[in-house]
Amino acid sequence: MAKVIFHIGTHKTASTTIQDTFWWNNALLEEHGLAYPRLSHVTGHHGLLFDWFPLAPAYRYDCSSRDMFQSLAEKYVETDKTLFLSSEEFSRGTPERQIDFSEVRALFKDFESVEIVCLLRPQWQLLQSIYLEISKKSGRIERPPKVVEQALSTGLFHGLWIDYTRLLDQLLKAFSPEEITFVDFASATKSDGGILGWLLRHLDIQLKADALEPVNDGRSNVSPKPLASWGANILAEPRTAPPWLIELVEEAIEKEFGSDRRQCLFTRGEFDRLQTHFDACNAKLNERLRTSQPGFSMTMASCDNIDLFREDIPGRFWLLPARLLVKQQLTMT
């Protein structure tokens, strides 16, 4: 009998790379027992959420989300395939933007097994990535201190769980502990074949990651460098910073600090607060998963490899992008 796996993200854990690669290689994967349906021209299965909350119109299917779920269940239930459905939108946290997994799970009651797969990364990295993604698309993003305060006080940021214990609570309303697989993103990334290699092994697909034709060189939806994006956002407020402005600020940062600095959106004090709070949450998560996932352990936050924090950008720095901008304008005239 068939199995179904819901890959629910979280956001900024190579979800788009997984979706692009599986969509492009779906025929090869199906030959090896993994069904990754091409439901539209969009590689992720975000259209499965529309019956519960709206997303971008481009994601919508010709039929309802419930009808699509029902169609998929009927198509694969009598096969020996593993049906793999992927959307990071499955893991949203605010009540008005949550899918009813109990209802969805009932549609797959005749499958041999149902599983949730969810990749997690240290919270400061997730927050930084969400900031970069939102600012890239809309420009309407809180400044970093408010990002930190919102995450610490609510466990959420822009409707996404930052406190993973609460994401677990949400999933346990519809699934048993044994049906939930949390994955440490850092560990999976370092494994043979990276995220794709880890996932193929977990799915028991007898393919190496390098057997899949890469899409976008295996790096889809890559974010700009954090301090370049932040600096461009400051200069462009309240509008969205255009790509050329982000590139100009990045050029200024490279001139001032060098090109090989690992950047952090937050100050050292903000990083410490996030580390203290969410390392404690992650320790609780490790303990709660000890029975159902004895090998699971979240990578704790570390600033060892960071050598450029937001507070390291001095006031005089802003003269440099201004000069570069003037030089650029003079060159164009």
Instruction: List pLDDT tens digits, range 308-328.
Output: 999 999 999 999 888 887 777
Q: Alpha-carbon distance 305 to 188, whole Å?
A: 19
Which stretch of 19-23, 179-183, 281-285, 300-304 has the lowest confidence by average pLDDT?
Answer: 300-304
* pLDDT recorded at residue 322: 82
What's the mean per-residue pLDDT of the chain? 94
Query: Does the CA dihedral 139-141-143-144 come out positive or negative?
Result: negative
Residue 225 and residue 217 in contact, taking contact as beta carbons nearer than 8 Å: no
pLDDT band for position 290 (cuts 50, 70, 90): very high
> Residue 148 carries which DSSP code?
H
pLDDT band for position 240 (cuts 50, 70, 90): confident
Share of the chain above pLDDT 90, in %: 85
Residue 279 has pLDDT above 70, yes or no: yes
Residue 332 has pLDDT above 60, yes or no: no
Residue 329 has pLDDT above 70, yes or no: no
* pLDDT recorded at residue 327: 73
Give start and end residues of each alpha helix (H) in the chain.
15-24, 26-31, 65-76, 101-107, 123-137, 144-154, 164-171, 185-190, 194-202, 226-236, 243-257, 268-288, 319-332
* pLDDT recorded at residue 282: 97
Buried-exposed string 144-157: b where 16+ CB fall within 10 A, e elsewhere: beebbebbbeebbb
* pLDDT recorded at residue 1: 81
* pLDDT recorded at residue 326: 76
Give φ, ψ of 290 to 5 degrees. -60, -40
* pLDDT recorded at residue 239: 85
Which stretch of 113-117, 141-145, 152-156, 201-205 has the lowest confidence by average pLDDT?
Answer: 141-145
* pLDDT recorded at residue 139: 63
* pLDDT recorded at residue 304: 92
Residue 30 has pLDDT above 80, yes or no: yes
* pLDDT recorded at residue 195: 96
Residue 331 has pLDDT above 70, yes or no: no
pLDDT band for position 22 (cuts 50, 70, 90): very high
Query: What's the CATH class of domain 3-218?
Result: alpha beta
pLDDT tens per residue across span 100-148: 999 999 999 999 999 999 999 999 999 999 999 998 877 678 899 999 9
Question: Any idea where the domains of the chain sit in the sequence?
Answer: 3-218, 226-332
Residue 220 has pLDDT above 80, yes or no: no
pTM (2 decimals)? 0.94
pLDDT tens per residue across span 68-80: 999 999 999 999 9
